[in-house]
């Protein structure tokens, strides 16, 4: 632990995940003195238990699928099995290299790094054991935890969360996944590629229920084709342990048996017992309430990342952390437009979007003011080479800008950079249609969709 507890810092940050460390790095760049407090490892959930290790598993799953399906491309290969020890070693090496690099960054910026569990002692101080770290400003960035449901006990063996799933040293023969959001569909995709029988149970009417309904339906079609089963609009009622694993009970009166039950019903804020309410900070269901600059109800105290009720995405935490550092430094940053944040589920096929859904656009602007175009990836040469299916859907204001881009297909997440610019720069269909996209690439699907929206389709049907 650092021994600089007697110093008054410009900024004391409680939590070293995406939001916390991004804030620390940017504040240091801006000449501020910073203390960063973390009870586990700098990098937080994203680096150690979320984004990075899950995407490593998903890439291993893609490799397995490539070997299994190689004959489609005229390549003779065999898949002899999944070596989970090797998969986990690869995953851990990726995480370890990034962790080491991040540690080096923190050290190079002269940030005081404190290992230990912090507690907000006052609006200007954080206690860690017997030491107190005082700051002219305090940022709360204590992140989130994997939720369960009332009465559903997580035992870490048969009933698990994503934290446990990342550490499994075997591939379950069968799995039920409770929750069809991003975490649920990503693990379903991994385990299916690794050879497991998978069933998703989602209480809402569609998988990835926060996405545009067209994206949900395309993913459901792809999952059916892959043999991933799912029950939507069905509620969980209980679980029984059996000799072979678990029996998952549904309110419909049916049940599902599997080796494991993965509980993927979302993440909750880590705030209990940390002194937030006692310091006068306004809370709601465990979340810290903030304004557009991530300021809490207490002057000089900010909150970022999964602790606040915004999108629970690592890059949102990055953005909020940078926003706070620049706001404290008097740089007058622009508040984050959360509609303009790119969102990806890295399952196979990927689901990617930026902007608002068709339903939201019609509510906001009126049904008669909204134009929608869908371009099928069946007309895209690179998608045919990759043997993927899906679509690019545009939602626009008639005679106005594009307000939503929604995509499903292999690797479509890589198209989101352009889609993000189109939305955030309020691009019109004619603007994007005038751009020449390289051929053959999947990015052409963005261009083709905008050509169709502009009334001059090339390969799409007008």
CA separation for the pair 290, 140 (Å, rounded): 11
φ/ψ of 235, rounded to 5, equals -100, 145
Helices (H), 1-77: 18-29, 44-49, 51-68
- Within 333-426, strands assigned E span 343-345, 350-355, 370-376, 391-397, 402-409
For the chain, state the CA radius of gyration: 23
What the block records as the tokens of 105 is 């960054």
Q: Is 439 a catalytic residue?
A: yes
Q: Given the residues 206, 241, 439, 459, select the one marked as catalytic.
A: 439
CA separation for the pair 136, 88 (Å, rounded): 43
Question: Is-contact 272 142, C-beta < 8 A?
Answer: no
Residue 373, judged by CB atoms within 10 A of its CB (0-12, 13-18, 19+), counts as: buried
Query: Hey, is 246 helix, strand or coil?
Result: strand
CA separation for the pair 23, 13 (Å, rounded): 8
Query: How many residues are present in the chain?
Result: 462
Among residues 204, 210, 181, the alpha carbon closest in space to that of 360 is found at 210
CA separation for the pair 353, 146 (Å, rounded): 24
Helices (H), 194-308: 213-226
φ/ψ of 162, rounded to 5, equals -60, -30
CA separation for the pair 283, 303 (Å, rounded): 11
Among residues 255, 264, 249, the alpha carbon closest in space to that of 179 is found at 264
- 3-state class percentages of the chain: helix first, strand second, coil last, to nearest 5: 35, 25, 40
Question: Is-contact 193 223, C-beta < 8 A?
Answer: no
* Residues involved in catalysis: 439
């Amino acid at each position: 632990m650092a021994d600089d507890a007697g110093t008054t810092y410009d900024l004391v940050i409680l939590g070293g995940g995406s939001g916390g460390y991004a804030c620390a790095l940017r504040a240091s760049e801006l000449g501020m003195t910073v203390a960063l407090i973390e009870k586990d490892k700098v990098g937080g959930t994203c680096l150690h238990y979320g984004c990075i290790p899950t995407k490593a598993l998903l890439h291993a799953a893609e490799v397995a699928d490539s070997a299994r399906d190689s004959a489609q491309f005229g390549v003779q290969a065999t898949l002899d099995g999944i070596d989970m020890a090797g998969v986990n070693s690869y995953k851990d090496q990726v995480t370890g290299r990034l962790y080491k690099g991040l540690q080096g960054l923190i050290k190079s910026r002269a940030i005081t790094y404190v290992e230990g569990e912090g507690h907000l002692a006052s609006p200007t101080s954080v206690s860690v054991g017997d030491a107190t770290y005082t700051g002219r400003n305090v940022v709360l960035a204590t992140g989130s935890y994997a939720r369960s449901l009332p009465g559903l006990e997580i035992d870490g063996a048969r009933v698990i969360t994503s934290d446990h799933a990342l550490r499994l040293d075997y591939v379950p023969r069968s799995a039920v996944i409770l929750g069809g959001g991003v975490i649920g569909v990503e693990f379903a995709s991994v385990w299916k590629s690794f050879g497991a029988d998978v069933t998703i149970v989602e209480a809402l009417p569609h998988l990835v229920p926060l996405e545009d309904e067209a994206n949900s339906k395309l993913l459901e079609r792809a999952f059916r084709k892959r043999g991933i089963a799912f029950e939507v609009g069905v509620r969980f009622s209980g679980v029984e342990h059996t000799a072979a694993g678990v029996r998952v009970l549904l309110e419909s009166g049916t049940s599902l048996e599997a080796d494991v039950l993965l509980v993927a019903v979302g993440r909750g804020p880590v705030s209990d017992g940390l002194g937030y309410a006692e310091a006068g900070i306004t809370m709601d269901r465990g979340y810290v309430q903030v304004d557009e600059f991530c300021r809490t109800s207490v002057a000089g105290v900010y909150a970022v990342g999964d602790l606040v009720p915004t999108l629970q995405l690592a890059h949102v935490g990055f953005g909020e952390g940078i926003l706070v550092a620049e706001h404290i430094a008097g740089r007058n940053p622009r508040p984050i437009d959360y509609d303009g944040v790119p969102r990806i589920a890295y399952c196979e096929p990927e689901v990617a979007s930026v902007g608002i859904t068709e339903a939201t656009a019609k509510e906001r602007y009126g049904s008669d003011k909204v134009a929608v175009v869908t371009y099928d990836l069946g007309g895209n040469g690179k998608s045919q080479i990759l043997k993927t299916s899906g679509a690019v859907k545009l939602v626009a204001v008639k005679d106005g800008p594009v307000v939503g881009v929604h995509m499903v297909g292999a690797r479509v997440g890589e198209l989101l950079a352009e889609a993000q610019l189109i939305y955030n720069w309020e691009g019109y269909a004619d603007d994007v249609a005038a751009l020449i996209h390289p051929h053959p690439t999947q990015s052409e699907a963005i261009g083709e969709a905008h050509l169709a929206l502009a009334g001059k389709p090339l390969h799409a049907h007008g």
